[in-house]
Structure 1
Amino acid sequence: MKHSSTGRLLLLLIPILMVLQGCVSTVSPGSRGLFWYPLTTGLTKEPLKEGLYWRAPWNDVFVYDTRYKSFKEKVDALTADDLPVTVYAAITMRPVPEEVYFLAQEVGPDWYRQLVQPQLLSAVRGVVANYSMVTLPERSSEIGNKIEAVVVESLKGRHLDIYNVALSEMEFSQMVLRAIEQKQAKEQEKEQKDFEVVIAQRNAEIARIQAKGEGDSLKIRAEGEADGMRIRAAGQSQAQEIITKTLTPGYLQFKLYESPNAKTIIVPEKLNVPLIVNPGADQTR
């Protein structure tokens, strides 16, 4: 009897537990939920935050993940010169947490495929069509920014928060790759020639500066020597002039009398016979 009663109890508890499990809905962290009352008010406007929510079995809770997610698309496009290119574009976005009710009413849970994907593909093809094939790799960041601007503008007011749009990869045909390599080789050759021209111009400028410096040095040295010669000549001329003014007849006679070795000849003005006097001896002739 005990085993049979226990079995009947389990048979009763299992359906009850299944019903209770169906009456609980969980809103995970980073998500928002909306109560759905099909028999009365329909979808509620107030978003549910994370937690456990009890409901009747015939009601439901729609959960929207409001965390940022990255979606990657492979896009076949044509460049401005009508060459095919495969672009891998990645968009990072999320629903606006406070606006999930409007998103659910206007689009539904499959909002990326129905709303975002067509706009992203169209923006990638439209922007890439404005660039030539050889400029795509070096301007990928600029292209990604323009694609993001187009997508943000097209999805304005659609209750979505776009964080970033970027080009992760590009695939080209072999013909295009050869063209890109040739362009890069020519650009490197041009840069090398420009560098050589700059070096040659700098060397020429240095040579001109050195030559000018040497010429200025020689000029300064020559001017210095000429000034020195003029100064010495002027000094010699002034000294000669001073000596000439100083050597008077009286001064010369005085210096002659002063010298012990000098011989003096005195010629009287009215006599024609000279007298010779030797100041250094005691004899007179």
Structure 2
Amino acid sequence: MDRLPKIALPAVFIIILLIILISKSAVTIGSGEAGVLYKTFGGGVVTEKPPLGEGFHLVAPWNKVYVYEVRQQEVFEQMKVLSSNGLEIQIDASAWFQPKYENLGRLHQEKSEQYKERILLPAIRSAARSVVGRYTPEQLYSSKRDAIQNEIFEETKAIVDEQYIQLNEILVRDVTLPPTIRESIENKLKQEQASLEYEFKLVTAQKEAERQRIEAQGKADANRILSASLTDKILQDKGIEATLELSKSPNAKVVVVGSGDDGLPLILGNN
């Protein structure tokens, strides 16, 4: 009985030590995350193997695991850039991105956990300055919004692709011009719209006048052709046909007494 305390104390110490070691060695990688293993005595960051996936992992207590979110993320950026004529333009944009999973170790080793601040955001700013500098404020305000967005995306992607970052989309959410420039552009657009409406009405009126002229000309041509075709002989034949049809009426007694001045028969009697 006297020996139990001497055996129990080391056992308790060992159990406590094991609990500490396991707690230091156990790593749980959450959903949408991956871990970069750092070996203190084994060459530092592990880059030749895939990162640690989701779930429970045991690592040596002297090593460390850096956890990264590898699902798609979004970052917002507000930039002041210059247009082609030197005016300051404010652009509000956001980027959809995620680290390249297979290169997560190299991303951590070369760029660190601050890769968004060190690589992605500076790349977006640089691309925005380059793209916006090719356009006027009028183009930025109206017709070229989609083109600007696509160009910023392409130029940013070309930069970050080699930096182990996957860029999925750039969204230009707002373009803010100086108030005086914006008012000037809006007034110009209103004047252009009014001019287009006037031109439309003018063209419509011209087309209606042309339609009426063509219709009148057609009627005149038809009357002229008809008049030219109605000879005296044709008119006399038509008159005879009409007289004969009338003579067949049951309400009239027909007596032909010679002819009239125009050579047509005369019909007498109405009983």
TM-score (norm 1): 0.72
Which of 180, 183, 189 is matched with 1:178 structurally?
Answer: 183
Q: Deviations over 1:89-122 (max 9, x none)?
A: 1111111112212222321221111111111101
Specify the alignment match of 2:151 in structure 1: 146
The 1:222/1:18 distance shift into structure 2, 3 A limit, reads farther
Specify the alignment match of 2:172 in structure 1: 167
- Once the 2 structures are TM-superposed, how far is the Cα of residue 146 of structure 1 from its aligned partner? 0.9
Specify the alignment match of 2:225 in structure 1: 220
Runs of 5+ unmatched residues, structure 1: 235-285
- Once the 2 structures are TM-superposed, how far is the Cα of residue 233 of structure 1 from its aligned partner? 7.4
Q: Give the whole-Å Cα distance in 2 for the aligned partners of 1:208 and 1:98.
A: 76
Specify the alignment match of 1:117 in structure 2: 121
Q: Give the whole-Å Cα distance in 2 for the aligned partners of 1:222 and 1:232.
A: 11
- Identity percentage over the alignment? 24
Runs of 5+ unmatched residues, structure 2: 238-271
Q: Give the whole-Å Cα distance in 1 for the aligned partners of 2:206 and 2:60.
A: 87
SS in 1 for 2:161: coil
Specify the alignment match of 1:83 in structure 2: 87
- Once the 2 structures are TM-superposed, how far is the Cα of residue 217 of structure 1 from its aligned partner? 2.1
- Once the 2 structures are TM-superposed, how far is the Cα of residue 72 of structure 1 from its aligned partner? 1.0
2:36–2:108 Cα contact (<8 Å) kept: no
What letter corresponds to residue 42 of structure 1 in structure 2? G
What letter corresponds to residue 95 of structure 1 in structure 2? P
2:240 aligned with 1:209, yes or no? Answer: no
- Once the 2 structures are TM-superposed, how far is the Cα of residue 19 of structure 1 from its aligned partner? 4.0
Specify the alignment match of 1:95 in structure 2: 99
Q: Give the whole-Å Cα distance in 2 for the aligned partners of 1:14 and 1:211.
A: 110
Which of 20, 23, 41 is matched with 1:39 structurally?
Answer: 41
Specify the alignment match of 1:29 in structure 2: 31
1:134–1:183 Cα contact (<8 Å) kept: no
Q: Give the whole-Å Cα distance in 2 for the aligned partners of 1:133 and 1:63.
A: 44
Q: Give the whole-Å Cα distance in 1 for the aligned partners of 2:173 and 2:205.
A: 42
Specify the alignment match of 1:108 in structure 2: 112
The 1:76/1:230 distance shift into structure 2, 3 A limit, reads same
SS in 1 for 2:94: strand
- Between the two proteins, the alignment pairs up a number of residues equal to 227
Q: Give the whole-Å Cα distance in 1 for the aligned partners of 2:29 and 2:225.
A: 93
SS in 2 for 1:81: coil
Q: Give the whole-Å Cα distance in 1 for the aligned partners of 2:156 and 2:60.
A: 41
1:88–1:167 Cα contact (<8 Å) kept: yes
1:127–1:147 Cα contact (<8 Å) kept: yes
1:96–1:160 Cα contact (<8 Å) kept: yes
Which of 184, 198, 202 is matched with 1:197 structurally?
Answer: 202
